[in-house]
Chains A and B, each alone.
Chain A
Amino acid sequence: MAALRAERICKSFRGLFKRKEVLHQVSLSIEEGEVFGILGPNGAGKTTLMSIFSTLIRPDDGKLEVLGFDALRDTHAVRERINISSGNPNFPWSLTVRENLNHSGMLYGLYGRDLARSVDEAISSFELEAHVDSKFETLSTGLKQRVSLAKSILNRPEILFLDEPTSGLDPEMAMKTRALIHRIYQEEKITVVLTTHYMPEAEELCDRIAFLREGKLIALGTPGELKRALKIGDRIFIDYEGEIDPMCLRIIPGVMDVRHSRGRVEVVFDRTEGTLGGIIRAFVGAEILDMGLEKPDLEDVFLELAR
């Protein structure tokens, strides 16, 4: 069942002289329990799309269904069941970490022991114990991000929207945060929708990924599907001595591209059965001096799509 279904979402903002279109007919569907990534270069419309999904702002046009509710009409029912952690988060400056979490919990209608337990669990999950009495304004960027993440799980949301969840975090905390996101969706079956600039993070966490460019959805699929669709294959380079015929390489099934310079061949190929063996056999009359294999990552997909 779809946790979120968006149809032809459009959004534009009024500028000084004309309206600027930020999202153009974005349609996608996110399944329950899925970790869904929204990627794209700066200005692609990722944050606007997240803001629309989380009902913070309204689209100009289109339909949005979240957890079975019409998210443009039943906004409160949706807000009760979701939460969001934004990049570069801000909270009232002079409230401490605990006070901010208490206040946020109250906004979600938590009270009494439930409120205290949710706040304590959130503090513990993001290792904020040492900072509970620190005012928000005194926290580092990374700690502010952790407070925002802690706030986002207070109401045990069914869909969690994470806008750049690890930006500003040190590598250890970023790793822990990714592990927590992993745990949340595995144990509690929360649907997670995240934006990130960090491709290994998207590859590690996301079941499926949507690429946005200039407000348009230009690709959607699993990391593997995207690589295949863009013909971004594995790359093998072979340094050799002797004579080979590069044209023989091009006709091997699965080979997508061949680059040949003196003593070195680079072959881009789809990892289908027999392809690698076929490539190696083409070097029978030569001596292989060195070889290496590079697997493509999401960064390559991103660069290809952002081009």
Chain B
Amino acid sequence: MSWRGELNKLLSATYKNWIISKRNVFTVFELVFWPFIGLLSIGLLTRFLDVADDMVAFVLVGAIALSILQISQIDVAYILLFDLWSKSIKQTFVAPVRGYHLVLGAMLFGVARGSAVFIILAAASRYLFGFNFLAGGLIVVLIFLAGIFITAASIGMAVCISILLFGQRADVAAWSLSGIMMLVSGVYYPVSILPWPLQILSKSIPLTYFLEYYRFAYGYGSHQVLLGMALALLYFAASLLILNLAIERARTTGMMLRLSE
């Protein structure tokens, strides 16, 4: 198989997600409405509480990160979710594609959509709340976004793994995992205020480190972004490996057939 053939296998997931998204009114809500409403609510809350500027930045960074994470992870989870909903999973898995084709292709689209959300929210927060998202420089923004995209891909793969192991009802995981992340990784508050077991848990979540890294540029706390990136890449590799094992297990248990019925 030529490199262009391999590339097209990878782009097949990008193509499918793109077509389904452009035809879905829900996409506008995913990309603009909910992230914007979330940002506006949090921003207005900071106004009401009359918090200092660095605290406004702290909270808005969390709101923006969460929106990007949610949209990027769902794009990877759509690898299976779209097929699950249309009962067409076997069409994908009788074809000569591997897990990484599907994940990287969907991730590509997730990166595009996540970047769009970032630009929209960064512009809105600049205009409405005077938040300069480039205060730390472009490199900081790019590392922050890369970290979130890699973390989101791992969450999306975890959703796919749940579906392959536990069946259709596991798609609820798609909506739950990022919520758990929000709780323990310090999206709206520093992790130091969490009870100690959750603080330990937060240290195992890469998002915690990327939030600390971006906030550091606004003069808040310290960061260990290299550790966060190492963790994110480790989880990404582990998720990909487990996803491949879950696909093989679904072939053995017959889940692959049941999900198509």
Contact = CB atoms under 8 A, between A and B. Distances in A.
Interface in B13-33: 15-16, 19-20, 23-24
A107 B12 contact: yes
Contacts of B16: 92, 95, 103
A110 B15 contact: no
Interface in A81-103: 83-84, 86, 89-95, 99, 102-103
Given A57-B256, A91-B86, A94-B23, A109 B1 contact: yes
A55 B92 CA distance: 12
B256 A94 contact: no
A79 B96 contact: yes
Contacts of A179: none
Given A57-B252, A95-B19, A107-B9, A79 B82 contact: no
A58 B252 contact: yes
B96 A108 contact: yes
Contacts of B8: 106, 109-111, 115
Contacts of A58: 248, 251-252
Given A56-B256, A109-B6, A112-B4, A79 B94 contact: yes
Contacts of B95: 79, 104, 107-108
B251 A57 contact: yes
A76 interface: yes
Interface residues of B, number: 39
B222 interface: no
B257 interface: yes
Interface of chain B: mostly helix, strand, loop or mixed: helix
A56 B12 contact: no
A79 B251 CA distance: 14
Interface in A105-157: 106-112, 115, 136, 151
Contacts of B5: 109-111
A13 interface: yes
Nearest to A54: B94
Contacts of A25: none
A80 interface: yes
A29 interface: no
A61 to B, nearest CB: 12
B223 interface: no
B88 A106 contact: no
Contacts of A18: none
Interface in A46-60: 47-48, 51, 54-58, 60
A99 B97 CA distance: 18
Interface string B73-94: 0000000001101111011111
B180 to A, nearest CB: 29
A307 interface: no
A14 to B, nearest CB: 7
B98 A76 contact: yes
B260 interface: yes
Contacts of A102: 15
A154 to B, nearest CB: 10
Contacts of B24: 94
Contacts of A108: 9, 95-96
Contacts of A79: 94-96
The listed residue with most B CB atoms (<10 A of its CB), out of A13, A83, A95, is A95
B254 interface: yes
Contacts of A92: 16, 20, 82-83, 86, 88
Contacts of A109: 1-2, 5-6, 8-9, 96
Given A90-B91, A108-B96, 4 more contacts: A60-B252, A103-B12, A107-B92, A151-B91
12 contacts: A58-B248, A58-B252, A76-B98, A90-B260, A92-B20, A93-B86, A95-B20, A102-B15, A107-B95, A109-B8, A111-B7, A111-B8
The 6 closest A-B pairs by CB, nearest first: A109-B5, A106-B12, A107-B95, A79-B96, A111-B8, A90-B88
